[in-house]
Amino acid sequence: MAATTVRLGVNIDHVATLRQLRDTPYPDVLAAARECIAGGADQITIHLREDRRHINDGDVAALKAGLKGTSVDINLEMAATEEMLAIALKTRPHSICVVPEKREERTTEGGLDLSNSKRNELLAHIASEARKAGIVVSFFIEPDARDMEISKKLGATAVELHTGALCIAHQKNQASALEVEWKRLHGALGAGPMLNLMVNAGHGIDYRIAPELGRLKGIVEYNIGHAIVCEAVFCGLREATRKMKAALLGDSAAPSGAAAHKGAT
Ligand code: PXP
């Protein structure tokens, strides 16, 4: 049965990417966020990378001021550093999502590595400080029950499960990899209620896989960026957001850009 409601966080990093490509004053990130909200976004997600390759400090401040008084949350994705913690404590977004970050990567490639006790101390410190400030703390991790358990111990109130490998296998119609990835995700989702952790999902989610992910029990929130911004090329951000929310709720209608999408049905 299709879900009756889902929470959609629209990641607008790539709106800022377009601006940074030419160092122009447009497109305006706050105006883009407002379009997403008009299309049904429950949250605006941004990743302030250490190299500021897309979202910058000015965007964070503009979004915070511009969305004040709305019911829409800001979710700040950030590396586990003191600099980012200080920005989070100053900005006080609704939530932070702590992600691994490598300068040379194209996008966040995997979940946090929770096997290093020294780094885990830093994660625990960040979680503790952010929680004291009333911020929801999420860790971006692989869909793995053990990593969920460690996240809980380190003080996370939520986890975001990395759906990248699942989505790539789905896009490329790789049946055996897909089976493995669905199993991993189901296994992790089973652990959520026992750990009393809020479970979110994100990375690589497109319009084709959204109906399948949307009907899974146990996922509270989906953070989706690239596919929505790509679809906006054809129909605008408001409509692209509306369609993604409809897709998560079970509407499998193909997006406008589907003709060029290899493997689309
Ligand atoms: N969630 C996290 C933690 C991310 O790092 C990203 C990419 O910035 C996303 C969600 C959105 O991924 P995509 O752009 O592939 O939808």
Give bridge partners of residue 52 from the DSSP assignment: none
CA 79 and chain centroid, separation: 14
Q: Please enumerate in sequence order all residues whose Cβ is within 8 A of that of 172, keeping only pairs 6 or more positions apart, or say none.
A: 263
Alpha carbon distance 50, 98 (integer Å): 13
Question: What pLDDT score does 2 carry?
Answer: 58
Is residue 142 lining ligand 1, measured as CB closer than 6 Å? no
CATH assignment of 7-262, among 3.20.20.70, 3.40.190.10, 3.30.420.40, 3.30.70.20: 3.20.20.70
The answer to whether the CB of 197 falls within 8 A of the CB of 206 is no
- pLDDT for 109 equals 74
Instruction: Render 112-141 in DSSP notation, one character per residue.
Output: -----HHHHHHHHHHHHHHHHTT-EEEEEE
Q: Does 204 contact ligand 1 (Cβ within 6 A)?
A: yes
Q: Is 54 in the pocket of ligand 1 (CB under 6 A)?
A: no
Contacts for 212 with CB less than 8 Å, ≥ 6 apart: 170
Give just the sign of the alpha carbon dihedral 167, 135, 197, 243: negative
Q: Which candidate, 6, 3, 5, 2, places its Cα nearest to that of 202?
A: 6
How many whole angstroms from 163 Cα to the centroid of ligand 1? 9
Please state the pTM of the whole predicted model.
Answer: 0.94
What pLDDT is attached to residue 5?
A: 86
Element (H, E) at 45: strand 43-47
**Domain residue ranges in the chain:** 7-262
Q: What is the mean pLDDT of each successive set of 10 residues along the chain, which is 265 residues long?
A: 82 97 97 98 97 96 95 96 98 97 73 94 98 98 97 98 98 98 96 93 97 96 98 97 96 66 47
What is the C-alpha separation between 203 and 165, in angstroms, rounded?
9
pLDDT of residue 252: 78
* Preceding amide of 193 cis, omega within 30: no
d(CA 161, ligand 1 centre) in Å: 11
For the CA of 13, the closest atom of ligand 1 is 8
Query: Would you state the pLDDT for residue 260?
Result: 47
State the pLDDT at residue 102. 75
CA of 204, closest atom in ligand 1: 15
Q: Is 97 in the pocket of ligand 1 (CB under 6 A)?
A: yes
Residues annotated catalytic, as ranges: 47, 77, 203
**Sign (positive/negative) of CA torsion 184, 153, 90, 79?**
negative
What is the per-residue pLDDT for 3?
66
